[in-house]
């Protein structure tokens, strides 16, 4: 588990966890969990298209994630956001089915993109993942205040001069990059678990944005590291532990909130008496 060939796994998984923790916070406060689920599922057929034309699968993932961003953004202006997200997912999955039907050499790669293949990370994967991680964190840092304000209250953001439409497009682009880099590690079906579970727990445990983001990152890193360790011990899929731990973090956050509410109610009752 800690041998030399696992070094790449620990490095890439840690980078993915950090990005998922940061982006996941905004996914939670914006109520964009459906988009966080849709973009990875809509992006993974891009790897099939990349395979057909002979380019790096990561390029296909980013291109299809970008198409998903454009579809969600454009259709969202015409009606409800969840309907636009669903229509974009249907369109991308339809294209994915077409591309997959054109090749017979993609079954194992499809499985790894759906469920993750963190143990198959090579040295060549580190640089693009690291670059995308830096870009995502930099974009969030540069747009932190307007992105946070538009996430909490679009009316207040507009009154402060923030272009909410531009921030929505910026957020979707950041989410697309984050999901594209995370797909080979945790898979399309569970990347949103890594984003939403730790971030939801952090949001419940802290009311302040920056501490909540830092806590989300810590929980996400612990989730990935624990999942890899348990996978090495049990020989079960990493994705199973990522999904289970993500749900466990959220359950812990809900329990903590309930206990804190009861304690406050008890304190108020004692003071009144």
pLDDT score of 233 more than 70: yes
Is residue 79 pLDDT above 60, yes or no? no
Average pLDDT, the chain: 79
**CA 72, CA 248: separation in Å to the nearest integer?**
30
147-167 pLDDT, tens digit per residue, is 888 888 878 788 888 887 788
144 CB neighbour count, 10 Å cutoff: 14
Q: Which domains does the chain have, with CATH numbers?
A: 4-193 (1.10.3470.10)
Global pTM reads 0.81
Of 96 and 211, the one with more pLDDT: 211
Average pLDDT for residues 41-56, to the nearest whole number?
73
3-class secondary structure, 162 = coil
Top-confidence residue, 119 or 262? 262
At residue 112, the pLDDT reads 66
> Left if phi > 0, otherwise alpha if psi is -120 to 50, otherwise beta: which for 165?
alpha
Residues 6+ apart with CB under 8 A from 20: 178, 182, 191, 194, 195, 198, 220
pLDDT per residue as tens digits for the range 102-126: 766 555 666 666 666 666 677 777 8
């Amino acid at each position: 588990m800690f041998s030399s060939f696992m070094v790449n796994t620990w490095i890439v998984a840690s980078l993915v966890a950090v990005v998922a923790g940061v982006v996941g916070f905004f996914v939670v406060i914006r109520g964009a969990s459906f988009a966080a689920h849709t973009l990875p599922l809509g992006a993974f057929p891009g790897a099939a298209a990349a395979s057909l034309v002979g380019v790096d699968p990561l390029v296909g993932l980013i291109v299809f994630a970008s198409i998903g961003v454009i579809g969600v953004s454009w259709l969202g202006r015409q009606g409800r956001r969840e309907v636009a997200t669903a229509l974009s997912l249907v369109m991308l999955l339809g294209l994915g089915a077409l591309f997959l039907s054109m090749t017979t050499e993609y079954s194992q790669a499809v499985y790894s993109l759906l469920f993750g293949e963190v143990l198959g990370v090579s040295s060549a994967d580190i640089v693009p993942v690291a670059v995308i991680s830096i870009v995502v964190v930099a974009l969030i840092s540069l747009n932190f205040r307007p992105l946070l304000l538009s996430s909490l209250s679009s009316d207040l953001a507009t009154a402060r001069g923030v272009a909410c439409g531009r921030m929505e497009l910026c957020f979707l682009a950041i989410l697309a990059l984050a999901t594209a880099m995370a797909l080979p590690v945790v898979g399309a079906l569970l990347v949103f678990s890594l984003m939403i579970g730790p971030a939801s727990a952090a949001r419940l445990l802290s009311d302040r944005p920056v501490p909540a983001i830092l806590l989300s990152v810590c929980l996400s890193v612990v989730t990935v590291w624990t999942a890899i360790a348990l996978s090495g011990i049990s020989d079960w899929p990493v994705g199973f532990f990522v999904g289970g731990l993500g749900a466990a973090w959220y359950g812990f956050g809900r329990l903590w909130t309930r206990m804190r509410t009861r304690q406050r109610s008890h304190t108020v009752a004692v003071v009144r008496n």
